[in-house]
Amino acid sequence: MVTLRLTNTRTRRKEDFRPIDPADVRMYVCGPTVYDRAHLGNARPVVVFDVLYRLLRHVYGPEHVTYVRNFTDVDDKINAEALRRQKAGAPGTLEALIHQRTEETIAWYHADMDALGALRPSIKGVVSEKAAPRATDFVAQMITMIDGLIDKGHAYAANGHVLFRVRSYQDYGKLSGRSVDDMIAGARVEVAPFKEDPMDFVLWKPSSGEEPGWDSPWGKGRPGWHIECSAMAHELLGESFDIHGGGLDLQFPHHENEIAQSACAHPHGDFARVWLHNEMLQVEGKKMSKSLGNFFTVRDLLDQGIPGEVIRYVFLMTHYRSPMDWTAEKRVVATTKLEDYLALGERFADLEKARQTEPAPEVIDALADDLNTHLAITELDKLLGNARWNELVATLNFLGLIPFKGFEERRAKLTRSAAELTGVTERLAALRTAAMASKDFSAVDALKSALIAAGVEVQMSKDGVELVPGPDFDPAKLEALK
């Protein structure tokens, strides 16, 4: 069995990965707060951890891997958007508008990430809503966890809030390698008169009439963001699980806080053993921001006609621990590569056999070495160079770049096109024979122009006529010729 090596943020070392239970390898990745479309930076962890998920499924078997990625569906930004809509005249209660907003955003998110070839999270290979939990479905578990933290002296209620007592947890800051005092100096900590210490963070906060709220021992309120992940991970993956992932921007404070809560609530568990963080995304060398005018969503790119697999390929060009740059130049490279792989794979591979073929071992080895996606996609060119067509197709499917059905659809389209063209080929040949006798080529030229306009390459030689459908071939345009 292939041994994975992963760089664990916690130890700052590349380590052999040994799952707690190889029959149920468990991974948690922090998901989005669902108030708007995912921007391109949001998609990077999705693709990075999708590659890891695919690799784990390959090594341990799909039914032995559990991957949970949550939706944060309670948040001030969601409330603000719902309130804005209500003020703009949208019908319905605020609660209904919040629900509408989160549901529509979740549907967008799924559609956008599907387009990037990311597999949906699953419990032991079974895709379900449970593997993509909504925070609001786990408020009871959050309340129980907060209650336990108060009992153990790690949290306190004050002024309708419950706060985590950071100095009660000795290892706070270990993940990111900072001391509490450094963090106070560097962080934007919210000073509030009811806090014992400025570092203490919110587990629960009161809700006003305009905000969604749940009854709790501390009054009507809602959970803080960090406790959501701790409670959902515990409920769905247990006290100890294998991998916790997320973007580097979540390392502090979000992941430090998750660890503190979970370690204090369940002192016998390990929470997550391996922590992985992906670096951030830039656009043409600059941080993506609305003020620089270089901010765009995944949907913006898809709507511009950039296929999801091209976006995915560009992501894979950079190792997850390096900052990645989205550039027009890379997009062009990705487009050309994928077009070549699709055309050549369709032409030379035995698609039936490719489905039974394992992905290339060089690619698996590259990924097993701390997800070296850059090397993995370089290996694709070698497969092509060595005419390992079935492996090329199997590997492109495995990497989520071109699914098997992509090759099959292309083949079916070409076969259909060829059938469509048979009759026209005969007609053109007959017109040509007649024209050679009459020396009037106008009918031949007219048909030829119409074919070219329909995206067909016309080859005429003394041996006869051949029509080759080009990539833009549109059979509908032939209808007029019939």
Whose Cβ is closer to Zn ion: residue 115's or residue 231's?
Answer: 231
Q: Which stretch binds Zn ion (CB under 5 A): 6-14, 124-132, 226-234, 404-412?
A: 226-234
Whose Cβ is closer to Zn ion: residue 30's or residue 393's?
Answer: 30
Q: Which stretch binds Zn ion (CB under 5 A): 181-189, 194-202, 221-229, 445-453?
A: 221-229
Q: Which stretch binds Zn ion (CB under 5 A): 12-20, 182-190, 225-233, 409-417?
A: 225-233
Least separation in angstroms between CB 336 and Zn ion: 38
Least separation in angstroms between CB 112 and Zn ion: 20
At 278, is the secondary structure helix, strand, or coil? strand
Whose Cβ is closer to Zn ion: residue 249's or residue 329's?
Answer: 249
Q: Which of 204, 69, 70 is nearest to 135 (CA)?
A: 70
Tokens of 197: 């210490």
Question: Before 253, cis peptide (omega within 30)?
Answer: yes
232: enclosing H helix or E strand: helix 225-237
Least separation in angstroms between CB 50 and Zn ion: 17
Whose Cβ is closer to Zn ion: residue 72's or residue 417's?
Answer: 72
For residues 37 and 101, what is the distance between their CA atoms, to the nearest angstrom?
11
Q: Is 229 in the site for Zn ion (CB under 5 A)?
A: yes
Least separation in angstroms between CB 147 and Zn ion: 21
Say which DSSP state 255 is in: I
For residues 480 and 482, what is the distance between their CA atoms, to the nearest angstrom?
6
Q: Which stretch binds Zn ion (CB under 5 A): 140-148, 165-173, 223-231, 369-377?
A: 223-231
Say which DSSP state 32 is in: -
Q: Which stretch binds Zn ion (CB under 5 A): 28-36, 90-98, 298-306, 372-380?
A: 28-36
Whose Cβ is closer to Zn ion: residue 133's or residue 345's?
Answer: 133
For residues 185 and 302, is the Cβ–Cβ distance under 8 A? no
Q: Is 30 in the site for Zn ion (CB under 5 A)?
A: yes
Whose Cβ is closer to Zn ion: residue 21's or residue 249's?
Answer: 249
Whose Cβ is closer to Zn ion: residue 229's or residue 274's?
Answer: 229
Tokens of 330: 């890379």
Half-sphere exposure of residue 334: CA atoms within 13 angstroms, side-chain side: 22
Q: Which of 358, 348, 367, 344 is nearest to 394 (CA)?
A: 358
Q: Is 145 in the site for Zn ion (CB under 5 A)?
A: no
Query: What is the side-by-side order of every strand in the sheet holding 25-29?
Result: 126-127, 122-123, 65-69, 25-29, 240-247, 271-278
* Residues binding Zn ion: number (CB under 5 A): 2
Least separation in angstroms between CB 273 and Zn ion: 16
Say which DSSP state 218 is in: T
Interface positions with Zn ion (CB under 5 A): 30, 229
